Amino acid sequence: MTELLKDPEKATILAPLLANGWSETESGAAIAKHFLFANFVEAFAFMTRVALIVEKMDHHPDWSNVYRSVDVILSTHDAGGVTLKDVRLAEKMDEATAHV
């Protein structure tokens, strides 16, 4: 779970996320996504749902909210890059948008 993903496995594991709006940051040490909601309340409701998930996972996003958008950057700080924990959290975030 907390081992750094490395190519070629990394590319295979990230492919579904990259097809769903996530991108690798320039250094390759994180994955990022821009979420856009209908309004501020929906954006904040998403962040509230995700907050409960990340506490359970003990894995936390770098994120910011401006009005109805939420920008997320995921990396495993302890490992210095992207691990399966980030992949799992990204999947859960995508699922959390489905409940809006």
Chain residues in the site for ligand HBI (CB under 6 A): 58-60, 76-78
Minimum distance, C-beta of residue 93 to ligand HBI, in the bound complex (Å): 12
Rounded distance between C-alpha atoms, residue 73 and residue 86, angstroms:
9
Rounded distance between C-alpha atoms, residue 80 and residue 71, angstroms:
20
Nearer to ligand HBI, 76 or 90 (CB): 76
The token pair at 68 is 């109805």
Minimum distance, C-beta of residue 86 to ligand HBI, in the bound complex (Å): 7
First to last CA, the chain: 29
Nearer to ligand HBI, 27 or 38 (CB): 27
Nearer to ligand HBI, 42 or 71 (CB): 71
